[in-house]
A and B are shown apart, each in its own frame.
Chain A
C-alpha cells in the first residue's frame, strides 16, 4: 500500500465570511475525499464542521463541491485526482453556509412540504393494492433519490438566482411530482388535484430549460431530466394547449384491468 501527502484547500468560515485554508495531509490507498476530511478533523482541525452519515453513498449527507463540482465526498475516490493536484473542497453554493462545509438546506425541506402527498385510492384497503412491476418501474427510479440535494445545488435556475427560489421547487421536487403522477394508484385526480398542472403552475417547471445539469451530478444515476422533467413538461404542455387532451382530462380515467 502506498501513501502520499496531498494538498487540500478547505473552505472554513460561517455566514459572516471565511476563506480557503491549506492543509497537507496523508492519503492512503483506496481512500475517498471524506476520509481525508476526517483525517484533517482528527489531527489538525478538530472543529472542522462537516455533515456525513453512512459513508457508502446511501444517505446523501456529505454533499459538497470538490474542485467546483457538486459531489458526495464519500463517493469521490482520491484516485480520480493526480497526486500533485490541489484538491479544493467548498460548501454547496446554492445554500446559505452555516459553518465550514455545512450549509442550511432548509429550502429543500420547505419545498418538500409544498408537494401534495400520495393520495390513497378510496376503494382499496391495506393489502389490496395490486400493481405490476412494469407500472412501478418509473416511479421506483425516482424513489432511488437519496436527497443529497446536489441537483438542487447545481441547477442554474437557483444556483445564482436566489430570487427564483420562491417560485421554483428544483429538480428533486419536480421529480417528486412526476413520481406521484406516475404512481399507478395515486388518486389525486379524484380529489380534484391535477399534478401535471401544478408542476407548471405551482412548482415552477417552466423555469427548467433542460440543460440536464441535474442528471449529470446525480450520484444515483437517475435520469431526472429525461425521465421525469421532460415527460412532465410534455404533458403539462399537452394539457395546456391541446383541447382534446383538455377534454380527456375532464372525463374520468378508465380503470385499469385486474
Chain B
C-alpha cells in the first residue's frame, strides 16, 4: 500500500482560474470546507490572459440591452447548438455576477456617469463587455483571489487558522478522481514541488481545469491547458460533449516564431481596428454569411458610421463571430493575399490617435513593442488564427453543473460543454466562469452536505493503482514486448511536439476526412510510444515527469476531438469540414458524446483501430417555446429543421 498524505474536505475544486475560484468562494460561503488544487501558483491561472471583457447585459452604455438580447446573440454565435438552458441562465445571471465583483473590490473602467463601462465585441448586438483596458482577466482573477484571502482572514479571526475552511493547494496536479461505486470519493494527486503523492477525500469534486489548447501547435493557451479535467472526467466515467468544436481565435500573433499564437485581443476590432489583406482591401465584406447578411454593414462607410451611430447603421463585418473571421483570414492567406509572415494585417494606427490606442489597448501596445518590435500606433499588426478555446467539454446538467452519470462530480468553465454550442462569443467566457462557477460551488456544497453521515470511502486499491501509474515514467519500459532493437525510452517533449503538429495539421481549422483518419492513426502510434515516455532525475519539481503524465490527458482529449470531428459531416461554428462545407439543419439538434470504451476506467493503450473512445449520438432537448419566441421565424428557418419549427 502506498504511503500518501490524506486529508478530509467537503468540496475539492480542481483548478484555480475564474470558474474554480468562484466555485470555491460559493462552496465556502455555503458552509462547505473547501480545498482548491491548482497546477500553478495561486493567481497565475490562464484566466489572467483574458483581455477583452466580461459580457453582461447591464445596459450601461446602450439601455436597449437586456438578457433576452444577450441570449439571442449567444445562440446565434453558437449556431443554435447551445445547451439553451445554460445560455438562458448565463444571460440572466451575468450582470449580478459582475456587480458582485465590485463589492469584492474590482475596479472596472467607468462610463461618464460613473457606472461600469461596456465595450463592443464580435457577435454582441450592443456594447456589453465590462472591462479594464485590455487586462480584464487579470482584474477578474485578482479580485477572486483577494476575495478568497478575505474569507481566509475571516476564518483566521474565528479559528486562528487561515486555512481552516478554505485552502489553496498550489502547484499540485490531480491525476485521478477516486470513486466508491459510481460515486465520487476524492482525488489523487502529487505536489509538483516535492513529487509527493496526496489524497483529498471528499464527496464532491468540482472540475474547473480549463481547456485543451496545448494539444495544438499554434495556440494562445499556456502549458497548463493539457485537457486534465476533460481526461479526469472521462476516466471517472463521465461523458464529454461535442468535442469537435474548437475555437480558433482569428487574431493571434504570427511573428516572431517564438510568440506565434499569442493572443491579440478582439477589443482591437471592437474599438475600431480593421482587417486588410496584402492588397490593402478590407476583405471581411466579402465573407458575410447568409445567416448574418441583414445584421452587418455592406459598405466601409456604413461600418465606419456605426461606431458613432449604432442605432442607424449596421456593424462592420470585422465584428462577425470568431469562427467566421478566422475562416476568412485562412482563405485570404491561402489565396495568396496574406502578409509577409503568413497572416493578414490588423490596423488601428490609421483609425485612432496614438494616445487613445495606448490608453485603450495598453497591453497590446506593450506586447507588440516588446516582442515584435512593432509600434501598433504607427503600423499594422500581422495576425492569423490561433487555437484558443474548446466549446466541447464535460456534459453537465444546466442548472446544477453536475457531470452526467457520476454523482458528486461537477464541472464549470471551459472544461464544461454545452453553454457555447458550436462557437463561443468573445466575452462570454469570463461571464460563463462566474455564472457556472458559482452554480457548481453551490450544488457541490449542497450535495456534500447531504452526505454528512454516509461519505463514500476511498478505495485503497485505487490509490495504489494511481500511484503506480504516476510513477511509470521513472521506470519507462525499454524495448516494447517482442521488439528486437533496444529502443531507449521516448522523450516526452518530442512526443508532445509530434502530437501538437499532428493536431494542428490534421484536425485544425479546416478539416478533411482523410486527414482526420490519419490523425487517429498517428494518435494510436503516439499512445503506444507514450507508454515508454521516460524521464531522468527525481520527483522534485521535474517538468519532464509532469509532461509525461500530462501526455495521457492530451492523447485522450485529442482522440475525442478527432473522432467527433470525423463523425460530424457538416460545418458549424468551430468545426469546418472542407468536404462538408455547409451547415446542415439535420445536425442542429445532434450532440456527440465521447465516453471511455473501457468503462472500468482502465486504458487499453495499444489498440490503434478502436482507440479508447466510443462515440454516441443523442438528440437534444427541444428549445423551450418562450425562448424560441424571442427570434423571428425568418431567422429560425435558417437553423432549425422543419419538424422542430412546427412543434
Q: Which residues of A contact B (CB under 8 A)?
A: 1, 14, 28-32, 35, 41-43, 46-61, 75, 77, 98-100, 102, 105, 109, 112-113, 116-118, 120, 126-127, 129-133, 136, 139-140, 143-144, 146-147, 180, 183, 186, 258
Summed over the interface, the residue pairs from A and B with CB atoms below 8 Å come to a total of 173
Q: Check B46–A54 contact: CB distance below 8 A.
A: yes
Question: Chain A residues with Cβ under 8 A from B142's Cβ?
Answer: 143
Q: Check B258–A31 contact: CB distance below 8 A.
A: yes
Which residue of A31, A42, A139 has the most chain B CB atoms within 10 A of its CB atom? A42
Query: Given A32-B258, A49-B542, A100-B541 in contact, is the A126-B102 Cβ separation under 8 Å?
Result: yes
Q: Which of B147-155, B231-239, B409-417 contacts A (4 or more CB under 8 A)?
A: B147-155
Query: Given A59-B49, A116-B153, A147-B43 in contact, is the A47-B224 Cβ separation under 8 Å?
Result: no
Instruction: State in angstroms the CA–CA spacing of A112 and B153 once bound together.
Output: 10
Q: Check B492–A46 contact: CB distance below 8 A.
A: yes
Q: Check B139–A143 contact: CB distance below 8 A.
A: yes
CB distance from B434 to the nearest CB of A (A): 13
Scan residues 219-267 of chain B and give those whose CB is less than 8 A from a CB of chain A: 222-224, 255-259, 262-263
Q: Can you name the residue of chain B whose Cβ is closest to the Cβ of A101?
A: B541
Flag whether B63 is at the interface (Cβ < 8 A): no
Instruction: State in angstroms the CA–CA spacing of A250 and B414 once bound together.
Output: 50
Instruction: State in angstroms the CA–CA spacing of A126 and B139 once bound together.
Output: 17
| Pick from A60, A129, A183: contact of B44, CB under 8 Å | A60
Instruction: State in angstroms the CA–CA spacing of A57 and B372 once bound together.
Output: 13
Scan residues 122-162 of chain B and give those whose CB is less than 8 A from a CB of chain A: 132-133, 135, 137-139, 142, 146-147, 149-150, 152-153, 156, 162
Q: Can you name the residue of chain B whose Cβ is closest to the Cβ of A35?
A: B258
27 A-B pairs in the complex with CB atoms less than 8 angstroms apart: A30-B255, A30-B256, A30-B258, A31-B257, A32-B258, A41-B544, A46-B492, A46-B543, A49-B540, A49-B542, A49-B543, A53-B46, A56-B259, A59-B44, A61-B40, A61-B44, A75-B371, A117-B153, A120-B104, A126-B99, A126-B100, A131-B107, A132-B114, A140-B133, A143-B138, A143-B139, A258-B114
| Pick from B41, B49, B107: contact of A105, CB under 8 Å | B41
| Pick from A47, A133, A139: contact of B537, CB under 8 Å | A47
Instruction: State in angstroms the CA–CA spacing of A253 and B535 once bound together.
Output: 63
Q: Can you name the residue of chain A whose Cβ is closest to the Cβ of B117?
A: A133
Q: Can you name the residue of chain A whose Cβ is closest to the Cβ of B105?
A: A118
| Pick from B146, B492, B543: contact of A118, CB under 8 Å | B146
Q: Check B44–A113 contact: CB distance below 8 A.
A: no
Query: Given A30-B257, A129-B102, A140-B132 in contact, is the A42-B493 Cβ separation under 8 Å?
Result: yes
Question: Chain B residues with Cβ under 8 A from A126's Cβ?
Answer: 96, 99-100, 102-103
Question: Chain A residues with Cβ under 8 A from B372's Cβ?
Answer: 30
Q: Check B543–A113 contact: CB distance below 8 A.
A: no
Measured as residues with beta carbon below 8 angstroms from the partner, the interface class of chain B is 35 or more
Instruction: State in angstroms the CA–CA spacing of A56 and B223 once bound together.
Output: 12
Q: Can you name the residue of chain B whose Cβ is closest to the Cβ of A145?
A: B142
Query: Given A31-B256, A47-B542, A117-B153 in contact, is the A58-B49 Cβ separation under 8 Å?
Result: yes
Flag whether B501 is at the interface (Cβ < 8 A): no
| Pick from B95, B115, B256, B542: contact of A29, CB under 8 Å | B256
Q: Check A143–B41 contact: CB distance below 8 A.
A: no
Q: Can you name the residue of chain B whose Cβ is closest to the Cβ of A134?
A: B110
Instruction: State in angstroms the CA–CA spacing of A77 and B369 once bound together.
Output: 11
Scan residues 517-569 of chain B and give those whose CB is less than 8 A from a CB of chain A: 535-538, 540-545
Q: Check A41–B255 contact: CB distance below 8 A.
A: no
| Pick from A1, A99, A136, A186: contact of B540, CB under 8 Å | A99
Q: Check A41–B543 contact: CB distance below 8 A.
A: yes
Q: Check B262–A56 contact: CB distance below 8 A.
A: yes
CB distance from A48 to the nearest CB of B (A): 7
Q: Check A130–B139 contact: CB distance below 8 A.
A: no
Which 5 A/B pairs are nearest by Cβ-Cβ distance? A30-B256, A118-B105, A117-B150, A46-B544, A47-B537
Question: Chain A residues with Cβ under 8 A from B138's Cβ?
Answer: 58, 143-144, 146
Instruction: State in angstroms the CA–CA spacing of A147 and B152 once bound together.
Output: 19
Q: Check A143–B115 contact: CB distance below 8 A.
A: no
Q: Can you name the residue of chain B whose Cβ is closest to the Cβ of A75?
A: B370
Question: Chain B residues with Cβ under 8 A from A28's Cβ?
Answer: 257-258
Flag whether B109 is at the interface (Cβ < 8 A): yes
Flag whether B491 is at the interface (Cβ < 8 A): yes
Given A42-B493, A48-B543, A55-B262, list of 11 further CB < 8 A pairs?
A30-B257, A31-B256, A31-B257, A53-B48, A99-B540, A117-B146, A126-B96, A140-B109, A146-B48, A180-B105, A258-B114
Flag whether B366 is at the interface (Cβ < 8 A): yes
| Pick from B49, B152, B535, B542: contact of A54, CB under 8 Å | B49
Q: Can you name the residue of chain A whose Cβ is closest to the Cβ of B367?
A: A56
CB distance from A99 to the nearest CB of B (A): 4
Instruction: State in angstroms the CA–CA spacing of A143 and B538 once bound together.
Output: 39
Q: Check A120–B259 contact: CB distance below 8 A.
A: no
Interface string of B193-231 (1 = CB under 8 A from A): 100000000000000000000000000001110000000
Flag whether B618 is at the interface (Cβ < 8 A): no
Q: Check A130–B224 contact: CB distance below 8 A.
A: no
Q: Check B49–A118 contact: CB distance below 8 A.
A: no
Instruction: State in angstroms the CA–CA spacing of A143 and B497 once bound together.
Output: 36
Q: Can you name the residue of chain B whose Cβ is closest to the Cβ of A126?
A: B99
| Pick from B95, B146, B544: contact of A47, CB under 8 Å | B544
Q: Check A130–B100 contact: CB distance below 8 A.
A: no
Q: Check A113–B540 contact: CB distance below 8 A.
A: no
Flag whether B363 is at the interface (Cβ < 8 A): yes
